[in-house]
Structure 1
Amino acid sequence: MTLLELRLKPLTDRQLNAVVKLDQLCLGGLWSQEGYRRELNSPNSELLVLSVLGNRGSPPKERIVGIGCFWAILEEAHITILAIHPDCQSQGLGQVLLWTLLQKAVRQKLDRATLEVRASNQAALSLYQKFGFQVAGRRKKYYQNNNEDALILWRGGLQQKQFSQLLDRWQQQTNEKLARCGWRLENGDRKLKA
C-alpha cells in the first residue's frame, strides 16, 4: 500500500479560505476568516494545519484535513481548536495534532494544558483521555447551538521528565496508527521542530 504524505505546518494566509471551510464543516463556523487572521497575527497563538498532498487515485493537490490551535496564557496552553475532516477521522490524525500541540507547549515552557469539549463527544473525550487529560469541571449550556454542556479538561505536568517520555511513546504509537491507516507524516520519524 502506498502511504499518503501528511504535512503539519503553521497556517498561512493562502490557506485561510480552506481552513474556514473545514471549520464550518467540523465546528459549525466557530471562527470566521477574520478570527483566523487575528490568530495568525497573535504572538500568543500556535495555529497548525494538517494537510495531505493528493487523494488516493487522483492527481496531486494539497487538501487541508485538520486544524489545531492553542493560546499560550501564562503557564498554560489553552487548546481552542482541534478538528479533523469527517472523512479522515479515527485514523490517527487527531493524535498527530494533539501530540504536536503538546510538544510545542513543552518547548514554550508551558506547564499545563486545558480545553473544553462537548460532553457528548465520546471520540474527542477518548483521544484527550488517552493523552492524560482529566475532567476538571463543567460549563453548563456552553454550546449555543444546542445548549449542550462542555467538559473542562486539564492536563498538568508538561515540564516533568515523565511527560517527555510519554510524548516519545505517543509519537511512536501515533506513527504506527498512521501507517496502518495509509498515512505517513512528513518528518514523522523525527521530532517535529517547534
Structure 2
Amino acid sequence: MISLDLEIKLLTLENLSAILELDQACFGGLWTLEGYKRELDSPNSDILGLFSASSSTSLLGMGCFWSILDEAHITILAVHPQYHRQGMGAALLYSLIKTASDRKMERATLEVRASNLAAISLYQKFGFQTAGRRRRYYQDNDEDALILWLPDLQHRKFKAILDQWYSIVSDRLEKSSWHLLFK
C-alpha cells in the first residue's frame, strides 16, 4: 500500500484563498476575508494548515489557536468534508497542542457545540475535560457550547504524552494511507 504524504505548516497570507475555500466547505463562511487577514497578521495567533501534494484540494484542514497569556485558546479545527474520518482532525489537534507546548503555553482551552459528539470525542481522546458551559453561545441556533480544558502542557510528563499521541495519530493516518511529515 502506498502512503501519501501530509504536511502541517503555518499558514500565511499566500494561503488566504485556500483558507476561505476550506472555511466555506466546513462552516459555510464562519470567518470573513478580513477576519482571516487579522488572524494571519496577529502575533498572538497561530494558524496551521494540512497539505498534501497528492490532493486536488490545496488545503485539507486547518487549526488555529490564540496565545492569551499562558493559554492556547483553540478557535478553529476544520478538515475538508471529503477527508473526514481519516485521522486528519487528530493530526491537526496534536499539532496545535504540540505547538502550544513548544511555545511554553501552560494549558489549552476551546468551545465546542454541545451537539458535536464527534468533536467532543476527539477532544476527550486528547485529555480535554469539560470545564463549563456557555448557554446559547452559538448565534445561528442559540446552541450551548461546552468549554473544554487541557491543563499541564508544561508538566515534565507531558513530553511522553505527546510522544504517545504522535504514535496514535501516525497509526490512524497510516490506516487511511497517509504519512505525516513535520517541518
TM-score bracket relative to the smaller structure: over 0.9
Query: C-alpha deviations, 1:94-114, integer Å up to 9, x for none?
Result: 111111111111111110100
Aligned to 1:164: 159
Are the aligned partners of 1:117 and 1:152 in contact in 2 as well (CA < 8 Å)?
yes
Q: Are 1:124 and 2:119 matched, yes or no? A: yes
- Higher-RCO chain (CA-CA 8 Å, sequence separation at least 6): 2
TM-score norm. by structure 2 comes to 0.95
Q: Are 1:183 and 2:171 matched, yes or no? A: no
Q: Are 1:82 and 2:77 matched, yes or no? A: yes
Picking from 126, 129, 136, the partner of 1:141 is 136
**Amino acid paired to 2:104:** K
Aligned to 2:39: 39
- Deviation of residue 28 (structure 1)? 2.6
Query: C-alpha deviations, 1:99-137, integer Å up to 9, x for none?
Result: 111111111111010000000111100110001001111
Residue 70 of structure 1: SS of its match in structure 2? strand
Unmatched 5+ residue regions in structure 2? none
For residues 131 and 145 of structure 2, the distance between their equivalents in structure 1, rounded to whole angstroms, comes to: 11
Q: Are 1:70 and 2:69 matched, yes or no? A: no
For residues 6 and 89 of structure 1, the distance between their equivalents in structure 2, rounded to whole angstroms, comes to: 14
- Deviation of residue 37 (structure 1)? 1.0
Query: CA 1:147 to 1:62, structure 2 compared with 1: closer, same or farther past 3 Å?
Result: closer
Q: Which shows bigger deviation, 98-107 or 25-34? A: 25-34
Picking from 74, 88, 91, the partner of 1:93 is 88
Query: C-alpha deviations, 1:54-76, integer Å up to 9, x for none?
Result: 24xxxxx5621101000000110
**Amino acid paired to 2:7:** R
For residues 154 and 81 of structure 1, the distance between their equivalents in structure 2, rounded to whole angstroms, comes to: 15
Q: Alignment identity in percent?
A: 54
- Deviation of residue 12 (structure 1)? 2.0
For residues 35 and 53 of structure 1, the distance between their equivalents in structure 2, rounded to whole angstroms, comes to: 27
For residues 96 and 65 of structure 1, the distance between their equivalents in structure 2, rounded to whole angstroms, comes to: 12
Aligned to 1:151: 146
Are the aligned partners of 1:53 and 1:62 in contact in 2 as well (CA < 8 Å)?
no
Q: Which shows bigger deviation, 121-130 or 61-70? A: 61-70
- Deviation of residue 166 (structure 1)? 0.7
Aligned to 1:58: none
Aligned to 1:4: 4
For residues 41 and 87 of structure 1, the distance between their equivalents in structure 2, rounded to whole angstroms, comes to: 29
Question: Which runs of structure 2 are paired with 1:17-32 in the superposition (5 Å)?
Answer: 17-32=17-32
Provide the aligned length of Structure 1 versus Structure 2: 183
For residues 19 and 45 of structure 2, the distance between their equivalents in structure 1, rounded to whole angstroms, comes to: 16
For residues 57 and 20 of structure 2, the distance between their equivalents in structure 1, rounded to whole angstroms, comes to: 16
